Chains A and B, each alone.
Chain A
Amino acid sequence: MKISAFHLMPYRDLPADFEQRYESVWVTPPWWELADARRVGQYYNWTLDELTYAAKCGFDGVCTNEHHQNAYGFMPSPNLMGSVLARATNGSNVAIVQMGATLPTSNPPLRVAEEYAMLDCISGGRLVAGLPLGSPMDVNLCYGITPMEHRERYREAVALTLKAWQAREIFSWNGRYFQLATVNLWPRPIQQPHPPVWIPGSGSISTFDFAVEHDVCYCFLSYSGAKSAKTMMDGYWRVVEQKGRDLNPYRAGFLQLVVVAENDARAEEKYARHVEYFYHKCLHVPGMWFSPPGNQDYRSLVATMSNPVRRAENPKSLRYRDFVEKGFVIAGSPATVRDRLKEEVIKSLRVGNLMVLLQIGSMPHELALENIELFGREVLPGLRDVWDDEGWENRWWPERLRQRATPMTAGIAAGGA
């Protein structure tokens, strides 16, 4: 099992009536009314500290991702954050999991290929290269990419990126969306033939096909927990089988929100309002914005429209205990959390690469550190060996880190915090 700490970098101080007063947390939240740049500077530093701390607490990887124009999670450039993390964790066995920079909004997408190569070089070959399609809010609404071209542009960008990392000769790229006469990437990644690729998704069947065909790790980034992901992930594994791939659990990743405390009751006391803040405010987005017309291809559109189960429950009507009961959040004592993660998430979905979100919504820095520390100390060791008896190799993890991680020891991080 590989377990990584994921961070969104949310705005932690939205007003109590945010979701009543504003249309959306994404695309249109007014900066000048809601935010303060000095405060945001503190958030970025806290985020980096929290992830660096996770590295020290024994996590296998640290994850950042890209979003735009929002208070839900605003690392417009995850590679800036990844770069700091790569430097701060040098000397450790922690992977830098970029989940990551969004290809369709990078023009040319070679920029992502270059920056990932830089990260791989800086980290000494510890990069996991997430190649996300990007959310419709980010790509279509904020960055103006035509919904119907979003996936095509992405696929071309993935092909270009993989070729740019590996080509032995200078080549020209005469694509539909990108034309480059002389591609000769400097630098190239340390990892050969290229860093492991993860493709995050939200259950679109065309992304299943794409991930399986490319033999990469598919990561379901869900906030609705494993119970509601079960149908989707079963569908993914069916595609894996149909396309003749092995059932290696490391072919799948899953994101899970987790809060740990001394016992279940204390977890509620400490975390309930931060969890509710996340689901009520950070996910406050008009439903249509998740699926602009044309963003899904026809086949996926028919599947979504015909199957209401695929539509997520409205989280605004739920409270902390509902989120815990439904598994949106796995919460409680270390034993509760460990057992639920093992059975409901890891085994049920057949997931080898687990990502856990431990700073949630308004959760303050000190509490986030507590959650990270407790998870690292009391939960993580009990999950490490879940798949060991099946003997799979995690081919989607940096090769030199495939053995069990050793925690980053204090003082190793040259120039670190």
Chain B
Amino acid sequence: MSVSAEAPIAGGTQERTLTVWQGRVRMRVLSKGRGPALVFFHGPWGLTWDPFLDRLAESFTVYAPEHPGTTPEAHDDVYHLDGLWDLVLCYEELLDALAIRNAAFVGHSFGGMVACEVAAAYPERVRRLAMIAPLGFWRDPDHIVNWMMLEPGALRAHIFRDPDGAAAGRMFPRADAQDAATTQARVRLMWAMGTTGKFIWPIPDKGLKKRIHRVKAPALLVWGRQDRLVPAVYAEEFTRRLSGARLETLEGAGHAPHLEETDTVARVVRDFLIQ
């Protein structure tokens, strides 16, 4: 593995790109803050450094890696990974590259599932595990909408309680604009969904139920009651398998509570992780 020089970017965030998987997979990691290590696993729409991560960085050293393929100029690296097992091993190598023995894990949606898989594979590397609306299970009556097949407008409405709000605006390019930056943002969003979708298509249940019992870290689940993508009933799948897991349900929130109710979710997550 190799590490590029740390470079400061806007808002005091550092970025560096680490190379794992026999030199074939480059992963950029954004980091900020002081305190114990926290690894953030982003969702299917790519990594955007947002106010939620800023809040966590007040209490932790936050490391936010980009899912393989979503790092700029490393789009095709994802083709070197054949499945979830490869992805989990990649993250373990990344922890080594970051010299993190163990850390708090926080994951959103797809990232929540990945965090849980890494925690099941390497229980000793996870101190505490916070998952925000994670994927990983499937119940026939509680269909999880395939977000990758939604028109952009419908997709926003499935993720955000307020599809026209500031949080949605940070994740989604404007529908009416055609400038180069907007086009680039559309490409980035599509590619992020493609590279994450690679590990969960066509049903986001890849056997976590067989492995989740291996997780040793105390777990927290955060769910929006109004989640239109992964219905809040899925919290049960986690809480009944993770003994002592805590569930925090936010009545008015959707699939991205940490982006729309940042203060509340940041406080809940911080209080849980700091223990």
A41 at the interface (CB under 8 A from B): no
In Å, the complex CA distance between A148 and B195 comes to 7
For B147, give the chain A residue with the smallest CB separation. Answer: A293
Q: What is the bound-complex CA distance between A286 and B194, given in angstroms?
A: 18
Residue in B75, B76, B187, B194 whose CB lies within 8 Å of A305: B187
A292-B149 contact, Cβ under 8 Å, with A301-B190, A302-B187, A305-B190: yes
Pick the contact of A293: B183, B194, B202, B203 (CB < 8 A).
B194
With both beta carbons as reference points, the residue of chain B lying nearest to A146 in the complex is identified as: B201
- Let me know if B201 and A140 touch, CB within 8 A: yes
B176 within 8 A of A: no
Q: Is the CB of A294 within 8 A of B187?
A: no
Q: Is the interface of A mostly helix, strand, loop or mixed?
A: helix
Contact B186 A305 (CB under 8 A): yes
Interface string of A133-175 (1 = CB under 8 A from B): 0000000110011111100100000000000000000000000
Provided the pairs A286-B149, A293-B193 are in contact, do residues A148 and B78 lie with their beta carbons within 8 angstroms?
A: yes
Q: How far is the CB of A68 from chain B (nearest CB, A)?
A: 14
Does B75 lie within 8 Å of A294, measured CB to CB? no
The CA-CA distance from A71 to B92 in the complex, in Å, is 47
- Residue from A148, A288, A289, A298 within 8 A of B197 (CB atoms): A148
A306 beta carbon closer than 8 Å to chain B:
yes
- Is there a chain A Cβ closer than 8 Å to B150's Cβ? yes
Give the interface of A toward B (CB within 8 A): 140-141, 144-149, 152, 176, 286-289, 292-295, 297-298, 301-302, 305-306, 308
User: How many residues of B sit at the interface, in one of the four size bands?
Assistant: 20 to 34
Q: Are B201 and A295 in contact (CB under 8 A)?
A: no
Q: Does B214 contact A (CB under 8 A)?
A: no
Please measure, in the bound complex, the distance between the C-alpha atom of A298 and the C-alpha atom of B203, giving whole angstroms.
23
Determine whether the beta carbon of B151 is less than 8 Å from that of A144: no
| B186 and A286 form a contact (CB under 8 A) | no
Counting from the closest, the 3 A-B pairs by CB-CB distance are: A294-B194, A293-B193, A293-B194
The docked-state distance in angstroms from the alpha carbon of A141 to that of B203 is: 11
Whether a CB of chain A sits under 8 angstroms from the CB of B49 is no
A302 CB contacts on chain B under 8 angstroms: 187
CB contact under 8 A between A176 and B197, given known A140-B202, A298-B76, A308-B178: no
Q: Which of B76, B191, B198 counts the most A-chain CB atoms under 10 A from its CB? A: B191
Query: In the complex, A297→B79 CA distance in Å?
Result: 10
- Report the bound CA distance from A286 to B203 in whole Å: 20
In the complex, what distance in Å separates the CA atom of A288 from the CA atom of B194? 13
Do the beta carbons of B82 and A176 come within 8 Å of each other? yes
Q: Is B7 an interface residue (CB 8 A)?
A: no
The answer to whether B79 touches A293, judged by C-beta atoms less than 8 angstroms apart, is no
Quick one: which of A176, A293, A306, A308 contacts B191, CB cutoff 8 A?
A293
Asked if B1 CB lies within 8 Å of chain A CBs, one says: no
Query: Is there an interface contact between A148 and B198, defined as CB atoms closer than 8 Å?
Result: yes
Contact indicator B194/A147 (Cβ below 8 Å): yes
Query: B97 contacts the other chain (Cβ, under 8 Å)?
Result: no
Contacting A at CB under 8 A, from B75-110, are 75-76, 78-79, 82
The answer on a CB contact under 8 Å between A289 and B194 is: no
Q: How far is the CB of B134 from chain A (nearest CB, A)?
A: 20
Query: Which residues in B have their C-beta under 8 angstroms from that of A292?
Result: 148-149, 194, 197
Per the bound structure, the CA–CA distance linking A141 and B202 in Å amounts to: 8
Is there an interface contact between B194 and A141, defined as CB atoms closer than 8 Å? no
Residues from chain B with a CB closer than 8 A to the CB of A298 are 75-76, 187, 191
By a CB distance below 8 angstroms, the chain A residues around B191 are 293-294, 298, 301
Nearest CB to that of B201 among chain A residues? A146
For B75, B149, B151, which residue has the most chain A Cβ atoms within 10 angstroms? B149
- What is the chain A residue whose CB lies nearest that of B44? A293
Of the candidates B78, B151, B183, B202, the one whose C-beta lies within 8 Å of that of A288 is B151
Chain B positions 16 through 27: 1 when the CB is less than 8 Å from some CB of chain A, otherwise 0: 000000000000
Between B150, B151, B187, B203, the greatest number of chain A beta carbons within 10 A of the residue's beta carbon is seen for B187
Contact A306 B183 (CB under 8 A): yes
- B198 in contact with A294 (CB, 8 Å): yes
Q: How far is the CB of B140 from chain A (nearest CB, A)?
A: 16
User: Chain A's nearest CB lies how many Å from the CB of B253?
Assistant: 25
Give Cα A176 to B195, complex, Å. 18
Across the interface, name the chain A residue whose C-beta is closest to B150. A288
- CB-CB < 8 A to B82: which residues of A? 176
Which of A148, A286, A295: most chain B Cβ within 10 A?
Answer: A148
Give Cα A120 to B38, complex, Å: 62
**Is the beta-carbon distance between B151 and A147 smaller than 8 angstroms?**
no
Q: Knowing A144-B202, A289-B149, A305-B183 are in contact, say whether A294-B197 is a contact too (CB < 8 A).
A: yes
CA distance A147 to B82 in the complex (A): 13
With A293-B194, A298-B75 as contacts: A144 and B187 at CB distance below 8 Å: no
Near A by CB (< 8 A), chain B positions 172-202 give 178, 183, 186-187, 190-195, 197-198, 201-202
A/B interface sample: 19 pairs, CB < 8 A: A140-B202, A141-B149, A146-B197, A146-B201, A146-B202, A147-B197, A147-B198, A148-B194, A149-B198, A288-B150, A292-B149, A293-B191, A293-B193, A293-B194, A297-B76, A301-B187, A301-B191, A302-B187, A306-B183
Shortest CB-to-CB span from A147 to chain B, Å, is: 6
Cβ-defined contact, B198 with A146, below 8 A: yes
Give the residues in chain B near A146, CB-CB below 8 Å: 197-198, 201-202
Chain A residues within an 8 Å CB radius of B201: 140, 144-148, 294
Q: Do B151 and A293 touch (CB < 8 A)? A: no
Give every chain A residue within 8 A of B197 (Cβ-Cβ).
Answer: 146-148, 292-294
